[in-house]
Amino acid sequence: MKVLTDTILSQSAFSADIDVPIEKIDIADWLFNLAEAEYQRCCTPDHIAAGSTVTDDGRRMSINVEMIGTGLVVQHYVAEVATPTYCRMNSISDVFTANGRTQVNVIWELKAEAIEGGRTRYTNAVTAHPTDAFMAFIAEHGVSYEDAAAARQAAGGDHNSRETPLFAASIARKALGQPNPA
């Protein structure tokens, strides 16, 4: 399968500030130890399931199952970078729609940066690229690339805007050793 990295299907980035100094933040630890129930709380009702595993060659991997708009998406995020303040995750994601199954490439970037007053700004950035399988899928169903991209942008942006502040709050609780809400 070929990923069309020079073409952006959708892109969004949202930030939320938290009252935790950056020295206490460890995004990689949070991501790879995230309890499924906590993942679900971070974007109800869209987030369905999450878990951690490794690739055959030992790279860390986060598996997320969620609804983005009308598509059920199974994401296989492989860590390209996984540090306390920055994770870059790359997934060939399976998308299940009413018309069948296809795949897109999703880059998920989780970033923490120090801001004034001993606080931290968390940024959640998601960029989706089409694959050749996706392009064939939309052509087969008579959907223009422009329409598919507009739908993905609207659904993905909405989803990201809702999960970002909840991810930030979850990262803050983990950093402070606080329990997750029931």
Residue pair 46/66 in contact by the 8 Å Cβ criterion:
yes
pLDDT in tens, 64-102: 999 999 999 999 999 999 999 999 999 999 999 999 999
Return the closest-CA partner of residue 69 out of 49, 50, 45.
Answer: 45
List alpha helices for 14-131, DSSP H: 27-32, 36-41
CATH numbers and ranges of domains, the chain? 10-176 (3.30.530.20)
- 148, burial (CB in 10 Å: exposed 0-12, middle 13-18, buried 19+): buried
The pTM assigned to this predicted structure is 0.94
Reported as a single tens digit per residue, the pLDDT across 13-39 is 999 999 999 999 999 999 999 999 999
